[in-house]
Amino acid sequence: MHAYRTHKCAELRKDQAGQTVKLSGWIHRKRDHGGVLFIDLRDTTGITQCVVDQDSPLLTEIEKCRVESVITITGRVKTRQEGTVNRDLATGEIEVYIDDLTIQSQADVLPLQVADADAAGEDVRLKYRFLDLRRDAMHNRIRLRNNIIRSMRQRMWDQGFQEFNTPILTASSPEGARDYLVPSRLHPGKFYALPQAPQQFKQLLMVSGFDRYFQIAPCFRDEDGRADRLAEFYQLDMEMSFVKQEDIFATMTPVIDGVFKEFADWTGTPHRVEWLPNMAYNDAILKYGSDKPDMRNPLAICDVTDVFKREDVTFNAFKGIIEKGGVVRAIRCPQVAGQPRSFFDKLNDWARGEGAPGLGYILFEGAEGKGPIAKFVPTAAQEELKKIAGLKDGDAIFFVCDMEGKAAKLAGRARDKICDDLPTGHACAREKGVYKFMWIVDFPMYEFDEKSGKIDFSHNPFSMPQGGLEALNGPDPLKVMATQYDCVCNGFELASGGIRNHKPEIMERAFAIAGYSRDVLEKKFGGMLDAFRFGAPPHGGCAFGIDRIVMILANEPNLREVYAFVMNGAYEDPMMGAPTDPTPQQLKDLHLKVVLPAKVESVEKKAQKSA
């Protein structure tokens, strides 16, 4: 017989009744029923109920074992008596009577409960993550992550993609976030960067002639933490040669569609998968106030600036902003005439909390519109509003007025807030039980950075500008569109990608517009430029965020719930103690000196003094 087990804890059935078996696992629960001790023994597959009779010599020994101790038992499989069958367990028709016991490892008093619900905070859960991961919910989510990655790999292999690993230590590259830098011991004063994405390497693989690449790629970005973003994350990274944008969509849509359909019912709530037509970036910003709109929300935004420009409209708060170049965006909310005044007041208070003066509205109920600004908008202007927004009796229209970029963002947040505040069952409440996908296309190549006062890349700097070199030589770079695209689902950006620029002269011009001199370009991207000068195929690709996909399928609002080991929101690992202070010898080897900010240095000095 095997030293630890003949079966796993979810395998035994009535067919094994009468057999002597060996099981190993953790003590999930112990229950004393009048001298008869019941033990739920758990391993990664499930639970088996084990029994110690009241006259067993093992009773005293096992009573000393705390829950989560690891034991190995040998015993006889018996069919449970009628009325004691547990239909919630796969092994619920049998139990194992223990004849022999080995304690493999005793558990201390637990800092958090594994078998039962526990209100332990995130700090405790992360410090004792190994215990947190034993809990059913966490265990299942980590297994879901594994299964999703397995499914992705298989689907990519089935389409002829090859999996390559790219370097982790590399050079810094402008990918839209801060790099994590790694000092070089052998090259004093120089640093490697951890990759924000394998962008240049996967393009170089295309130049090398491999045609179809993918990787489950680790990526690192030194950004502030939030629920749907971590410093270290993984993505399904891919690239193809001799393709146009439509070829990328035709290749990756079935992969992601298949993954979501395979795991759509994982939470126990059935979901359907729906793909909507592609949408241009500018249309998404105008109609939904976001480049990752949640299309389960049926509300839409429209521009009504011209209505508030009319001479007969006397709402000066809007007119003053319009004269400075601002816009008025509006959200139609159907059939809310029966809602209490508090519905509108709460939305107004919410807008103030977002930094706006409020959320003005007009409610159309009867002949004349009602609401705080209705008196400033005469009947003729109200009729024009009705035509633009498709308003009917019983509808309300909410307004946001600001400069174009700010107005779009606030209108997008207001659209979601209004939808979420609608009562259950309302025709425009957020749809449930569906994953709504679309590809957002035609992103701008550049944007104006107000902080620096300069033009910069708006997204991926390696994308091919629509119109090529001729477009880049035009009078206004802010009007140049890139062959870039995102895949979005239910308000989340799942993927970003583009058809790449594979011509050195276009790359040089594109980076020159963003302020990169030829010398800087050669220094930072010399390898890429050299490769393009020796024959590069047209190519493109994208990368899907694995963590967000798992988060959506698991119906979890926080990425830390779908990772095995993570840091907290301050990017600290309470279990491993990271980040740590370097030793003097380490700093000496790396030719570095730590210069702390004044505030941090003061706090540390006080701590040392008090100690």
Query: Looking at the domain assignment, is residue 587 inside a domain?
Result: no
Residue 11, token pair as written in the block: 């395998």
For residue 91, the tally of other CB atoms under 10 A from its CB is 24
- Comparing C-alpha atoms, which of 234, 390, 386, 403 is closest to residue 320? 403
Q: Is the pLDDT of residue 453 over 90?
A: no
The mean pLDDT of 527-535, rounded to a whole number, is: 92
Q: What is the pLDDT of residue 21?
A: 97
Give the pLDDT confidence score for residue 223 in this predicted structure.
83
The pLDDT tens digits of the residues spanning 233-260 come to 999 999 999 999 999 999 999 999 999 9
Cα separation, 501 vs 125, whole angstroms: 46
% of the chain residues with pLDDT over 70: 97
Q: Is there a binding annotation on residue 155?
A: no
Residue 607: pLDDT band with limits 50, 70, 90? low
Question: Do 94 and 55 sit in the same domain of this protein?
Answer: yes
Alpha carbon distance 200, 185 (integer Å): 25
| 546 annotated binding-site participant | yes
- Residue-level pLDDT at 606: 54
Residue 230 predicted with pLDDT over 90: no
Residues 301 and 426 grouped into a single domain = yes
Nearest Cα neighbor of 102 from 3, 194, 229 is 3
The whole-angstrom distance between residue 305's C-alpha and the CA centroid of its chain comes to: 35
Q: DSSP secondary structure string, 338-379?
A: TS-HHHHHHHHHHHHHTTSS---EEEE-SSSEESTTGGGS-H
Phi, psi at 482, each rounded to 5° = -100, 155
Q: Is the pLDDT of residue 555 over 80?
A: yes
- What share of the chain has pLDDT > 90, as a percent? 83
302, 420: one domain: yes
State residue 213's pLDDT score. Answer: 98
Q: Are residues 314 and 424 in the same domain?
A: yes
pLDDT at 394 over 90: yes
Task: Decide if pLDDT at 214 tops 70.
Answer: yes
Higher pLDDT, 273 or 608: 273
Give pLDDT, residue 598: 78
> Is residue 306 marked as binding?
no
* 150 belongs to an annotated ligand binding site: no
221 assigned to a ligand binding site = yes
Same domain? 313 vs 187 = no
264 with 327, same domain: the answer is no
Flag whether 383 is marked binding: no
Identify the pLDDT of residue 172: 82
Higher-pLDDT residue of 60, 45:
45
Residues 393 and 305 in one domain: yes
170-202: pLDDT as tens digits: 988 765 678 999 999 999 999 999 999 999 999
Average pLDDT score over the chain:
93
Q: Is the pLDDT of residue 609 over 90?
A: no
At which of 54, 89, 105 does a domain end?
105
The answer to whether residues 424 and 462 belong to one domain is: no
Is position 206 within any domain? yes
> What is the reported pLDDT for 416?
97
Asked whether residue 112 is domain-assigned, the answer is no
Q: Report yes or no: 62 and 39 within 8 Å, Cβ to Cβ.
A: yes
The answer to the question of residue 132 being in a domain is no
Average pLDDT over residues 555-568: 91
Closest among 88, 69, 241 to 162, alpha carbons compared: 241
DSSP annotation string for 118-150: ----HHHHHHTHHHHTTSHHHHHHHHHHHHHHH
For 428-449, what is the mean pLDDT? 95
Q: Is residue 570 part of a domain?
A: no
Q: Is residue 583 one of the residues assigned to a domain?
A: no
Residue recorded with tokens 């003066």: 357
In a domain, 121, yes or no: no
Residues 515, 405: one domain? Answer: no
Residue 548 is assigned to a ligand binding site: yes
| 382 found inside a domain | yes
CATH code of residue 364: 3.30.1360.30
> 312-333: per-residue pLDDT in tens?
999 999 999 999 999 999 999 9
Total domain count, the chain: 3
The per-residue pLDDT for range 502-520, each reduced to its tens digit, is 999 999 999 999 998 888 8
Report which residue type is found at 184.
Answer: S
Tell which of 379, 400, 430 closes a domain.
Answer: 430
Q: What is the sign, positive or negative, of the torsion defined by CA atoms of 333, 335, 337, 338? A: negative
Same domain membership, residue 413 and residue 455: no
To the question of whether residue 129 is assigned a binding role by annotation, the answer is no
Binned at pLDDT 50, 70 and 90, residue 60 comes out as: confident
Structure tokens at 102: 């080995």
- pLDDT at position 217 over 60: yes
Does residue 418 share a domain with residue 305? Answer: yes
Cα distance between residue 13 and residue 96, in whole Å: 11
545 is in an annotated binding site: yes
Name the β-bridge partners of 481: 444
**According to the model, what pLDDT value does residue 524 have?**
83
- Mean pLDDT confidence for 137-141: 94
Separation of alpha carbons 225 and 558, rounded Å? 11
Given CA atoms 448, 494, 206, 523 in this order, what sign does their dihedral have?
positive
Domain boundary (82, 105, 128) is at 105
At what angle are helices 245-263 and 136-158 packed, to 10 degrees? 140
Domain that holds residue 208: 138-278+437-561
Say what the pLDDT of residue 503 is: 95
CATH of the domain at 542: 3.30.930.10
Give the span between the Cα atoms of 605 and 611, in whole angstroms. Answer: 10
Alpha-carbon distance 472 to 468, whole Å? Answer: 7
- 558: three-class secondary structure by DSSP: coil
Answer yes or no: do 217 and 199 share one domain.
yes
The CATH number of the domain holding residue 81 is 2.40.50.140
Quote the pLDDT of residue 608. Answer: 56
pLDDT at 378 over 60: yes
